[in-house]
Amino acid sequence: MKLGDFYLQVLLVFISWKFQVNNGQSERPRGVSLSNGPLYSNNEYFTCLDGSLTIPSSKVNDDYCDCTDGTDEPGTSACPSGKFHCSNRGFRPLYIPSSRVNDGICDCCDASDEYDSPARSLCANTCRELGKAELVAKNHEAVVMNEGFEIRRNYIERGLDTKTQRQQTLEKLKEELEQIEQLKDEKEQVKDDAERPEKDAIEKHKAAWEEVKSQREAEREKERAATAFSELDKDQDGRVTFEEILFHPELDPDDTNEFTPEEAMSLLAEEPEVFQDKFAQFVWEKIKDKYSITPKTTETPEIPEPPAPPAPVDEPPKTEGAGDEAEDDLTIDEEEEAAFEDDYDDYDEDDYDEPLEDEDLEDEEEEDDDDGDEDIRRYREMREKRKQKKDQKTDDDMPEYDSYTKTLIQIADDARAEYNEVNDKMKEIEKNISTLEKEMGVDLGMEHEFLPLQGECYEYSDREYTYKLCAFDKASQRSKSGGSETSLGKWGEWSGPADNKYSEMKYTGGLKCWNGPDRSCVVKLKCGKENQLMGASEPERCVYEFTMTTPALCNKKIDLTSGNMDGHDEL
């Protein structure tokens, strides 16, 4: 209630009372408001306010309900639908259900509802004290409103300035985007022009290398075929017969336990024997995937028939220097390498490449057990050897490009780098435009007064949770016992009533409740000197309600002397 209206109402009550007394009118029936008093002024009859019945005035407040609307019993509890009016002089008038009249509980601050109750003596008239307290509270609200009003004026200035700046920045970014799009097209053309000769030269180089590799592979296959022929030709008579093939059951075409002469002859082009040229041409292609060539050794050991168990051999004595030489030749075999890979997959080499501090060196000297450090050292050694092996060039590696191709590649690389630089810059501009348009698309109030809240987050904590509101973005809650944030919704719209649209925010699409709807949140705003989250609750399942104060809603200025409000807040 406005301060001016409050004082005016008190004054009107007093004047009306004086007027009635001075004109000899009878007092209003108990429980009737001042404005309804004339409706009960007829001394003979009373007509129910709904017009349904006219009764003698003597039946008003006779503790018997005659009117269906209960208006004949304003001062008793006889009518279920009746209303009792508390005058509450010195405070605010109030209507209460007539069922509360004389029920032993003081509902009116002037105790008028308990006029015929044992509780009458216990009810004190507190209207004056309540009126004073309300006046103090309203004065405080007026001071807060005035201070917030001035802050809001500053918010409006900032909001309008920012709106103008954003619009200017957006126009500038769009101009830059047009220019850089044109530059990107130019750089892309240069890149495409540079990549065509580069691609042709690289493909030509690779094609030549593939031909060389093909020739080398053909030579290797020829050598392998010759070696296999020599190994299969057990009697070294220059022919491989089906009998000699039968000595190699792994060549059985159908992989059964029985390798027949017919099957052996089928491998020899249906002939009992073949010479080397025909072997290389027809036979080798059939058996090369199954036949394993015996690795070459410097000495061919004599294997006795039947094989005898090897005689025990004493370990030769170590000669001076031999150990060092052998140690230099040590390498980590494949099994050890695999074991290290399994054990140290989680190691980060960077963790062990940092220089040791003095105190670390002292700790190492003091520690007796350095097995862990030794394992790490060996692991590094293995990785280093693998890297060296990988870096070593072999005859099967494609040779370097010639100088002409290298020049074309460098030209194309430079063109790609320039194109990528421009393309990255263009993407950054597009991202900035998108962000700016999103910010500008938010309704920040009639005069942009809510802009200072945009991008800011506010928190409120109770015994169990910390609630967080990021204005025009999202709402969330986090348990104080730990865990991640739970989304209560993302910014949706202003949802206040038509005459006060900006008094309520709505956030929707939060985390889905178990076996329930998506969480949502309503933020109720009121005038305050600070942007502050004041409370949080869950009035309905999965529907949350925040209360918040903000100067952006202090849109009136109050004259503390007269109580009048100035709604003109434009700059």
Q: 538: domain CATH number?
A: 2.70.130.10
> What is the per-residue pLDDT for 370?
55
Q: State the average pLDDT over residues 118-126.
A: 86
Among candidate residues 284, 265, 151, 152, the one with its CA nearest the CA of residue 221: 284
Report if residue 77 sits inside a domain.
yes
Burial class (CB in 10 A: 0-12, 13-18, 19+), 22: exposed
Report if residue 65 sits inside a domain.
yes
Q: Indicate the helix (H) or strand (E) that contains 476.
A: strand 474-479
Lowest mean pLDDT among 113-117, 296-300, 488-492, 512-516: 296-300
Distance CA 256, CA 277 (A): 29
Q: What is the CA radius of gyration of the chain?
A: 50
Residues 388-413: tens digit of each pLDDT: 766 666 777 889 999 999 999 999 99
* CB crowding 223-242: b at 16 or more within 10 Å, else e: eebeebbeebbeeeeebbbb
> What is the per-residue pLDDT for 374?
78
Report if residue 412 sits inside a domain.
no
Report if residue 45 sits inside a domain.
yes
Q: State the average pLDDT over residues 251-273.
A: 85
Give the model's confidence band at 25: pLDDT under 50 very low, under 70 low, under 90 confident, else very high. very low
- The domain tally of the chain equals 2
Residues 418-469: tens digit of each pLDDT: 999 999 999 999 999 999 999 999 999 999 999 999 999 999 999 999 999 9
Burial class (CB in 10 A: 0-12, 13-18, 19+), 72: buried
Percent of the chain scoring above 70 in pLDDT: 79
The count of other CB atoms within 10 Å of the CB of residue 472 is 21
Beta-carbon contacts of 212 under 8 Å, excluding residues fewer than 6 positions away, are: none
Domain boundary among 57, 90, 125: 125
Q: State the average pLDDT over residues 178-188.
A: 96
Distance CA 188, CA 470 (A): 42
> When comparing pLDDT for 7 and 176, which is higher?
176
Distance CA 445, CA 502 (A): 7
Distance CA 246, CA 249 (A): 6
Q: Is 455 helix (H, G, I), strand (E, B) or coil?
A: coil
φ and ψ of 104, to 5 deg: 90, 0
Percent of the chain scoring above 90 in pLDDT: 51
Distance CA 418, CA 422 (A): 6
Distance CA 465, CA 519 (A): 16
Asked if residue 260 has pLDDT above 90, the reply is no
Domain boundary among 125, 154, 186: 125
> What is the per-residue pLDDT for 392?
67
Residues 192-220: tens digit of each pLDDT: 999 999 999 999 999 999 999 999 998 99
For the four alpha carbons of 378, 379, 380 and 384, in that order, the dihedral sign comes to positive
Domain boundary among 125, 155, 183: 125
Asked if residue 11 has pLDDT above 50, the reply is no
> What is the per-residue pLDDT for 458?
97
> What is the per-residue pLDDT for 297?
53
* Mean pLDDT of all residues belonging to the chain: 82
Residue type, 36: N
Range of the domain at 60: 3-125
> What is the per-residue pLDDT for 118?
84
Residues 334-352: tens digit of each pLDDT: 555 555 555 545 444 444 4
| Alpha helices (H) along 79-126 | none
